[in-house]
Structure 1
Amino acid sequence: MELKALLRTRAWISVMLALLCVLGPTLSVLADNNGALPQAGSKAGSIDHTTIASKNLIPTYAKVLDGWQKNGAKANHNSSITISGSKLAAKSANANAAVGTYNGKNGVLIWSAKGDEWVEYELDVAQGGLYAIEMSYHPFVDSRDRKPIALGLTVDGLSPFIESKSLELYRHWKDKLPIVKDDNGDEIRPAAVDISGWHTWELRDMSGAYLDPLLWNLTPGKHKIRLSGSDPMALESITFKSPVPVADYLTVRNGLPKDAPPVQAEPIVIEAEHVEWKNDSSITLAFDNDIANSPYVRGKISYNTIDGTHWSTKNQEISWSFDAPETGFYKIAVREQQSFVSNRASFRSIMINGNVPFAELKAYRFPYASGWKGVALADDQGVPYEFYLQKGTNTISMRVTQAPVIPIAADMDEATETLVKLSSDLRTLTGGVDDKNRTWDLKKDLPGFVDQLQELSDKLTATREQLISINGRPDAISQGLVTVSKDIETLLKYPDEIPYDAGRMNKMQGKLAELLKQLSSQPLQLDRIYVVPANKPLPKMEATFMEKIQGSLINFINSFKTNEKSGTADDQVLNVWMNRGRDYVNLLQTMADEIFTPQTGIKVKVNLLKDDKLLLFMNAAGIAPDVGIGLPHDTPFDYAIRNGIYNLKQFPDFDEVYTKFAPGAWMPYFYDGGYYAVPETQAFSVMYYRKDILQNLGLSVPDTWDDVYRMLPVLQQNGMNFTPVEHSIFLQMHGLEYYKQDGSGTGLSSEKGFEAFKAWTDLQNKYGIDQKSDNFVQHFRNGSYPIGVADLNAYLQLTVAAPELNGVWGVAPIPGVKQEDGTVVRWTGGNGGDQFASAIFKHTKKPQESWEFLKWWMSADVQERYGTDLETLNGVTFRWYTSNVDAFAKLPWKEDDKQAILEQWKWFREVAKVPGSYYMEREMMNAWTRTVIGGENYRTSLESAIKEVDREVKRKMQEFHFIDTNGNLVRSLNLPVITKPWEGVDKYVKK
């Protein structure tokens, strides 16, 4: 009966999901209210459903601009209005904004934003029309934040288009030169230094979707301009001006001097890696061993090019400067590689001295080609463009643009939404059951379905042809569209059989989503830029056939050489193996050479460990390192029970180190009274919520799971839901103990254990939460999961990949369980895949030196600098999840979000390990499957899991002599007991 009820519920929810798919994900109109949420107890569910989950609630810029132009809005006016940053009309109550002096300029707004804040200006427009907005600003260079300044802009309380909610003002960066080398003579990739000053920037959409800056339609009269954000900056002025049209090449060329004398000078060669500035610190240098690259050092790593894979998205821009020896006409050529995605072209906006000189360079196409090529900037017939340059310093800038492929992306996105809608319609029809015994007449049973599917196939064909035209040739994406079209044609051959294979619709959605993801990348690798007098030939830019043969031979020989000799150890230095990427290793080596060795006199060699499984073999061969870093969280325990690593409690000052980390973070590294590793990174989950959707639904952020249960009907009535929750997140706060304190078996068999397991499975069986979630971030963006639990990786993904949600989502501690005394318990385990540790191996001859290194490595100052430098080098997605809370609190987290994360941190308690504990995860999931999928009684199912886990734990406890052959406990593991939240974060949590 319960299963039938569940199926009926599922069918009903499918109807609501169909409504959701038609309406699409919601976007905020609440930024003007600071994203405030209603108080607990406010009326929920009494809403106008047309305001919820509508992707088009705030339309795109393209649609709005088209509407403005059709209604007569003109851009060809001469009006220009400048507002001083100091002339505030209003500001939010929490805004840290004052007028002062910053970096040489007086009377500017110094906005030391610490949370979601806003400032407002009044604008008096005499001449109506379309205006571009230019800002003169200065990022806070001394701030710990490394990302661009994110802003939302409203006019008279409204966001006219979705792109206005996610604007960015960029910093300027420059690689630290000269590049230093390691002991092997290889260059170490340099970190970028923030060189930001006072900059001007015309506001653009942050994705690079449009060729020109954004425009706003301002009618005559007074307007209120509000800027909202949470990133600190100084603001000198905001200028509203008419857009400057860019003519085509022939028009521009005809307007230049016709009698300019030929330039008599040698070609100017610019090494691409020597940038004047770049607007993203994650645009890094790359080593390429093509023999024609400059510089080329045989057998050594030399960072001699701009990394194409890291210069491929959004508005990433690089600028180079050079001196023109004479005034006159020049040609420009580049030595580039564009072979990252088969047959795919990449596009760049190219500026000379800050401006696009003619329209053809707004989105210049670099076609796909295998290997390195010398390419002159030229027209469709290959005739090089001529650039008129003044004698002296000039600049060339290139900015990534997605504009040419945006129409394709829009078509593919629309096709995906159509498939989602059709899939929902199909699930509604079938109730989610593929009944092979039922006969369907789809045209009658689901009117319009077949016609929509045919129309979708035709649209995909047209999209493919348009993509080929833009790209210049067929590519993997256009071929992928052929595959999807063929899948649709296969379904249309026998439409009445579609309900028997509804899963194919979901597979097509996945294919389109993956193709759409590929479309957003525009990689381009550069070695050199050439500025050549127009009357002179271009220099040789590619290797000859014989040089290529020579280079291949050299690279082949060098491939047998390696500088990473992890299998050997130098007795004169401390050997550290790091289980991370090369950039991580190089950064740590640099810091050790710069800080640790001068302080202690201990020389350190940090080696790259490409696979942690190699430790097992090398340890058996007696060639393990002194220290291992980046070890998976389950590795130390496996070595501890086999006497392979050091018990850190042997060191006299261990207790002092212990107090610097959450007690719950030490749990996986405890064994038989000792601790065998230091927690290095710590990842756990928090709750994410959409402010806009919850306010529209009249819901408040839940504090307990009872609050969640009360809000679920409202969410589900509107086609939404809460995320599934992992057992380690849910069960501990509900009173479950995974193991007995002596380690002899599970602690699941208590009544609290059964109650906790039932509460966990009731999330699906009773409350209708989905059984699994394939992609939380995507569900969160489209509004189907406006609230849910996810790890910190989701935070970074939303920060980077969901600019449209700026200011309308927040973070809170995970809902807890209220106790009799009124306190709310939020115990939760972590995400083991993102938790790593550092340990000392037992064979080391330098235990004290190893311990000194571990203490230094995990100290607050070192962890803070390591995390900061890592993020500067690679971008915000490389945020370092340090276990040192003193360092964590100083990394560039948004203040409000950091408070929520730290509040959850105090309740972090990882599950302890015992011999045989690897069975727990498998059996817990088996028990869940039996109860939720199979409908088995929760108590019977959990008892089966307990029996299996206890059998394996007992077997392993006997193997390691904790239990004798008669099954009697010989000695206890004495697992730590943590009953109080950690007070170590209290100094950072605001009351």
Structure 2
Amino acid sequence: MNNRKKSYVAVLLVLAILVSIWAFYPSGSSEVRSVQAMADFAAVTGSGGDDGGYDAYVKAHSAAKRPDQVIRIEGESFTQTDGPGFEVVHPSGETAVLTPESGSISWNVPIEQAGMYNIRIRYLPVEGKSSAIERGLTINQQLPFKGADLVTFDRVWGNRDDKIGRDDRGNDLRPSQVEKPIWQVESVTDRSGYYDEPYLFYFDKGNQSVTLTALREPMAIDYIELYQEEALKTYAEIKSDYSTEGLQPVKDQYTLIQAEDAVYKSSPTLYPVSDRSSPTVIPYDVSKIRINTIGGLNWKLPGQWIEWEFEAPEDGLYQIALKEKQDQLRGVFATRSLTIDGKVPFKEMKRIPFEFGRDWSMYVLGEDEPYLFHLTQGKHRIRMTVSLGELAPLIQTIESSVLQLNEMYRKILMITSNSPDPYRDYQLEKRIPEMAEVFRKQAETIQSVADYLEQTTGEQSDKVAILHTMVKQLQEMAKRPDTVANRLEAFKTNVGGLGTWILTVREQPLTLDYLVVSSPDHKLPRADASFLQVVKHEAGSLTASYTEDYDSIGNTGKQKRSTTVWITTGRDQAQVLKNLIDDSFTPKSDISVNLKLVPANILLPATLAGEGPDVAMQIGEDVPVNYAMRGAAADL
């Protein structure tokens, strides 16, 4: 009987473990995308007059025409410079003007018809300090609006090596990022992400002056163009054009593009990364490190972009699918814009929302009715850029609310001081007559943002909790102005929480495993792992935890002389250090370095036991002194 009971208990334990694994790794197919298409939210700002911003600038010139013409000014035809280093150069056989990282340069622009124009610049990043290129733009020596004083142009980065290398233990090594300068044509846009379209600038008739003031980094300019940004068609209109032109979907075509094989990026921080959360990632190994994804928390700031190259085997209509994971923003969606060969295919590709999900999912652009993209035979490039999308007016609204609430807080503070007397009636409603109305109005404004987010995403989350908390407090303070002084500290904390909300929501992380360009009838790979795959993955990971050395970083092969180094920070920092060691230190010194990633608190007991390292790096400031005083540090 005892044996039978033990058997029952063992079976129950096994079932419990399997159920827990299944619960922890739910099937991605059960997750339903709940991002709903809604009318655009109109930003609510407190400024009704001319605050020098872009909105006020456009409103002031709302009656101006939009001349349908292109005006090109060659870079070398500049009329004036201020500062040294400006010269005509011929990179790649083309004539351009080199603009250094300081000074200013001006061009005369002949305008035949006054109106609003977009501006684009063809430029080549010149070797500098590896930062983004920044310029200030003025027209006739006047700043048009706030925002034109800081215009950013990206450098171009890519993997140093075509193939991802491996160390002598079979683990992939993160590829180093190097600058890959290429000519680019970029419109003057808002890099904060609040405006999807390029900036519009008003030019009077006649000769006008355009000046670029260098703020950071050099670049060569081929030309500057004034033009009109083409209005994008909707997919319904594009689909109608397909029918008119007789375009048909391709048959039996399937191209898989590994996301980590991106050809160009806008930042060196957009390096490929390793993901071991699922056995469905490609490439995959249960115990070894595989560089198999890109993005994540590195790919989150508005304006950051990643570009992939692929080849279409024949002319026709294709669908595009992404294996993606957005597991950071619950209650808010991450947004990307997509271009093919530098052009947005249709309006819907300006804002592609990716909702929260714990597991990998296969996202077909267009979802139930996949969008079809016309591709000609040959090479093409897909670029995805971080965009605030529908969140932009929401963030603008909360920013405006924070400014107005902070202004009200300062007014209250001047009366109550930062330590109000709880037994004193400050009569704030009389001394600040507009206080209750400001609280009431801002409560309504913030509530509208929370409602929009909940209706769009279909769920409540921590991203809207702070909004509801602020609304509740504002409503209570509007009803009971006599309690404002006693609530001042909580009010300050909640307004600070709104500021944190803005910073959090502005970040739009997204991880990609691969992209698929295929015919609409082709079956796509399964993104989520099956139950058996999960069990095999977990069992293999458990076994590997006893057999694999996860502490050592990179190559461990020894030269005639070797040293052991411990590092206590993250794996990424350790990998960067190991790359420097393998690339420069070991070849020059013929000394191999066994670099290990260890917890900070293990150094002391290991040293006492005689098992410590030769060198310990990135430790606390007090450690070297303590060890030296006790004779445990080497005398250099």
* TM-score normalised by L of structure 1: 0.57
Partner of 1:419: 405
The letter for the 1-side match of 2:80 is A
Would you say 1:147 and 2:147 are equivalent positions? no
Q: Percent identity?
A: 26
Distance 2:491 2:529 in 1: 49
Would you say 1:241 and 2:218 are equivalent positions? no
The letter for the 2-side match of 1:283 is L
Secondary structure at 2:185 match in 1: strand
Partner of 2:620: 632
The letter for the 1-side match of 2:333 is A
Distance 1:287 1:541 in 2: 17
Matches within 5 A, 1:539-554: 539-554=525-540
Partner of 2:607: 619
Partner of 1:285: 272
Judge conservation of contact 1:58–1:159 (CA < 8 Å) in 2.
no
Judge conservation of contact 1:573–1:603 (CA < 8 Å) in 2.
yes
Distance 1:586 1:129 in 2: 54
TM-superposed deviation, 1:598: 2.8
Structure 2 vs 1, CA of residues 386 and 109 (structure 1 numbering), >3 Å: closer, same or farther? same
Cα deviation per residue 1:618-674 (whole Å; 9 max; x = unaligned)?
2122211111222333321111111110222xxxxxxxxxxxxxxxxxxxxxxxxxx
Given candidates 176, 186, 189, the residue that maps to 1:204 is: 189
Deviating more after overlay: 473-482 vs 317-326: 473-482
TM-superposed deviation, 1:170: 1.2
TM-superposed deviation, 1:561: 5.1
* TM-score normalised by L of structure 2: 0.87
TM-superposed deviation, 1:286: 1.6
Partner of 1:254: 240
Partner of 1:221: 206
Q: Per residue, is there more helix in 1 or in 2?
A: 1
Matches within 5 A, 1:583-662: 583-611=572-600, 613-648=601-636
Cα deviation per residue 1:117-157 (whole Å; 9 max; x = unaligned)?
111111111122221111111111xx241122111111111
Q: Per residue, is there more strand in 1 or in 2?
A: 2
Cα deviation per residue 1:156-180 (whole Å; 9 max; x = unaligned)?
1122121211111112211133222
Secondary structure at 2:238 match in 1: helix
Matches within 5 A, 1:31-70: 59-69=52-62
Secondary structure at 2:360 match in 1: strand
The letter for the 1-side match of 2:279 is I
Given candidates 471, 488, 493, the residue that maps to 1:507 is: 493
Given candidates 315, 321, 333, the residue that maps to 1:345 is: 333
Given candidates 41, 65, 68, the residue that maps to 1:74 is: 65
Cα deviation per residue 1:875-922 (whole Å; 9 max; x = unaligned)?
xxxxxxxxxxxxxxxxxxxxxxxxxxxxxxxxxxxxxxxxxxxxxxxx
Distance 1:472 1:215 in 2: 35
TM-superposed deviation, 1:78: 2.0
Partner of 1:168: 152
Structure 2 vs 1, CA of residues 261 and 251 (structure 1 numbering), >3 Å: closer, same or farther? closer
Matches within 5 A, 1:754-765: none
Query: What are structure 2's unaligned runs of at least 5 residues?
Result: 1-45
Cα deviation per residue 1:389-442 (whole Å; 9 max; x = unaligned)?
111112211111113211111111111112211211111112444223323433
Matches within 5 A, 1:491-502: 491-492=477-478, 494-502=480-488
Distance 1:365 1:231 in 2: 34
Would you say 1:488 and 2:474 are equivalent positions? yes
Judge conservation of contact 1:131–1:242 (CA < 8 Å) in 2.
yes
Distance 1:565 1:392 in 2: 45
Partner of 2:509: 523
Judge conservation of contact 2:405–2:495 (CA < 8 Å) in 1.
yes
Secondary structure at 1:618 match in 2: helix
Distance 1:599 1:165 in 2: 47
Structure 2 vs 1, CA of residues 424 and 58 (structure 1 numbering), >3 Å: closer, same or farther? closer
Judge conservation of contact 1:331–1:533 (CA < 8 Å) in 2.
yes
TM-superposed deviation, 1:572: 6.5
TM-superposed deviation, 1:74: 3.0
Cα deviation per residue 1:518-545 (whole Å; 9 max; x = unaligned)?
1101111101111111343434443333
Would you say 1:183 and 2:168 are equivalent positions? yes
Cα deviation per residue 1:911-940 (whole Å; 9 max; x = unaligned)?
xxxxxxxxxxxxxxxxxxxxxxxxxxxxxx
Distance 1:577 1:227 in 2: 49
Structure 2 vs 1, CA of residues 80 and 391 (structure 1 numbering), >3 Å: closer, same or farther? same
Given candidates 435, 448, 451, the residue that maps to 2:437 is: 451
Judge conservation of contact 1:343–1:369 (CA < 8 Å) in 2.
no
Distance 1:136 1:406 in 2: 28
Matches within 5 A, 1:643-682: 643-648=631-636
Judge conservation of contact 1:430–1:499 (CA < 8 Å) in 2.
yes
Distance 1:188 1:433 in 2: 56
Distance 1:110 1:396 in 2: 30
Given candidates 274, 278, 286, the residue that maps to 1:298 is: 286
TM-superposed deviation, 1:476: 2.3
Distance 1:64 1:84 in 2: 27
Distance 2:545 2:507 in 1: 30
Structure 2 vs 1, CA of residues 264 and 453 (structure 1 numbering), >3 Å: closer, same or farther? closer
The letter for the 1-side match of 2:272 is L
Secondary structure at 1:163 match in 2: coil
Distance 1:160 1:556 in 2: 62
Given candidates 140, 156, 163, the residue that maps to 1:156 is: 140
Judge conservation of contact 2:552–2:595 (CA < 8 Å) in 1.
no
Secondary structure at 1:397 match in 2: strand
Cα deviation per residue 1:491-549 (whole Å; 9 max; x = unaligned)?
44543122133212211111111111111011111011111113434344433333233
Distance 2:622 2:552 in 1: 22
Judge conservation of contact 2:564–2:613 (CA < 8 Å) in 1.
yes
Would you say 1:273 and 2:260 are equivalent positions? yes
Distance 1:578 1:56 in 2: 56
Distance 2:408 2:248 in 1: 66
Partner of 2:520: 534
Structure 2 vs 1, CA of residues 448 and 264 (structure 1 numbering), >3 Å: closer, same or farther? closer
Distance 1:387 1:88 in 2: 41
TM-superposed deviation, 1:58: 5.8
Secondary structure at 1:264 match in 2: coil
Would you say 1:400 and 2:393 are equivalent positions? no
Secondary structure at 1:549 match in 2: helix
Distance 1:205 1:362 in 2: 15
TM-superposed deviation, 1:292: 0.6
Distance 2:80 2:243 in 1: 51
The letter for the 2-side match of 1:218 is F
Structure 2 vs 1, CA of residues 498 and 112 (structure 1 numbering), >3 Å: closer, same or farther? closer
Given candidates 398, 409, 414, the residue that maps to 1:428 is: 414
Cα deviation per residue 1:301-348 (whole Å; 9 max; x = unaligned)?
111001221111121111111111111111111110011122321111
Partner of 1:320: 308
Structure 2 vs 1, CA of residues 187 and 618 (structure 1 numbering), >3 Å: closer, same or farther? same
Judge conservation of contact 1:419–1:505 (CA < 8 Å) in 2.
no
The letter for the 2-side match of 1:193 is V
Matches within 5 A, 1:798-817: none
Secondary structure at 1:211 match in 2: coil
Distance 2:456 2:202 in 1: 30
Given candidates 353, 365, 378, the residue that maps to 1:365 is: 353
Partner of 1:837: none
Distance 1:246 1:347 in 2: 18
Structure 2 vs 1, CA of residues 491 and 622 (structure 1 numbering), >3 Å: closer, same or farther? farther
Distance 1:373 1:486 in 2: 37
Would you say 1:385 and 2:378 are equivalent positions? no
Judge conservation of contact 2:122–2:186 (CA < 8 Å) in 1.
yes
Distance 1:190 1:536 in 2: 33
Judge conservation of contact 1:152–1:164 (CA < 8 Å) in 2.
yes
The letter for the 2-side match of 1:276 is V
TM-superposed deviation, 1:83: 0.6
